[in-house]
Amino acid sequence: MREITYSLAIKEALIEEMERDPNILLLGEDIGVYGGVFKVTEGLLDRFGPERVVETPISEAGFVGAAIGMAMTGKRPLVEIMFADFTWVASDQIFNQAAKMSFMSGGRVSVPMVIRTQQGGGRGNAAQHSQSLEAIFTHMPGVKVAIPSTPYDVKGMLKSALRDDNPVVVIEHKLLYGTKGQVPVEDYTVPLGKAAVRRPGDDVTLVSLSRTMHLALEAAEEAAEEGIDVEAIDLRSLVPMDVDAIVNSVKKTNRLVVAHESHRRLGIGAEIAALIQERAFDYLDAPIERVGAMDIPIPYSQVLEDEALPGTRHILEALRRVTA
């Protein structure tokens, strides 16, 4: 396999799927001539033309609504929302229209559309461009949510999303675009709803996602030097979620830490903690630890941002507490 960047893996998925299915088209702000704010769609306008790479006005509610209509009538649109923070502007279209249309029509209508967006801090983009909103999407039935952490996964999961007949939100992290990983040349998909064990271990289960997964693995290696054997699980998909993978791991290790970049309060870690309480409480030898961002707007100052967001040291401290 070759080693390519996360952003190139996304571009390859888009090119391959657009060549495979002529009903797939892209909509978004600055995705054509400019090539996207993170240059993921650079060159696609020349390759596929303006009818399939559609430059939109600055109106998320407008072009997400247009994509829903396209999806209901035979197309398979992929919408790029420049920053996840801007999905609030299109929240009615996403949550009250796309998510509910199949249910409200008794299955007569499907909405095979994908929303690509990126989130997270670490670049000093301040409070309106640094949020992690995955928990919001998981709360709304009718939308699938993928949050891949590696180039291999983002390509395979984006392909799965584009072939799915339901609305799928694929959430990327802005600090992952330049990361590299092995990706096959041949066609492949990664199923939605299947977690991955990134590191086997016996002492404690560490569940994470997106960029925080990389920090979790760093913390796991540091913990190993202290004699703590960590099993690290990458969720990859939040809806559907591979709950069995977490439960089975906790039954083996008897301890659980969940780490994510979104706010700790009502984050995905709270849901996982509740699920383990319901399904594996008798196996726990220590309270579940949750690691997340402080419950404040993400600061612009780099020093304050570093303190507000969870880092390797925060995860390591949680691993020490739960195994003490």
Is 173 known to be catalytic?
A: no
Sheet containing strand 204-208, edge to edge, reads 196-199, 230-234, 204-208, 256-263, 289-293
Provide the pairing of β-strand 2-5 with 180-183: antiparallel
Cα angle 291-176-307, degrees, rounded to a multiple of 5: 35
Cis upstream peptide for 240 (omega within 30°): yes
Give the distance, in angstroms, between the CA of residue 105 and the centroid of all CA atoms in the same chain.
28
Sheet containing strand 24-28, edge to edge, reads 53-55, 24-28, 76-81, 114-119, 168-173, 144-146, 237-239
Write 39-47 long-range contacts (CB < 8 A, 24+): 39/7, 40/7, 40/10, 40/11, 40/14, 40/80, 40/177, 41/11, 41/14, 41/80, 42/11, 43/11, 44/11, 44/14, 44/15, 44/18, 47/15
CB 113 within 8 A of CB 78: yes
Q: Which residue among 12, 17, 129, 314 is the active-site one?
A: 129
Question: Which residues on neighbouring strands pair with residue 208, listed in sequence order?
Answer: 234
Is 317 known to be catalytic?
A: no
Give the whole-angstrom CA distance, residue 126 versus residue 301. 8
Helix/strand/coil (H/E/C) assignment for every residue in 241-254: CCHHHHHHHHHHHC
Q: Which residue among 60, 80, 172, 289 is the active-site one?
A: 60
Cα dihedral across residues 102, 103, 106, 107: positive or negative:
positive
Q: Active-site residue numbers?
A: 60, 129
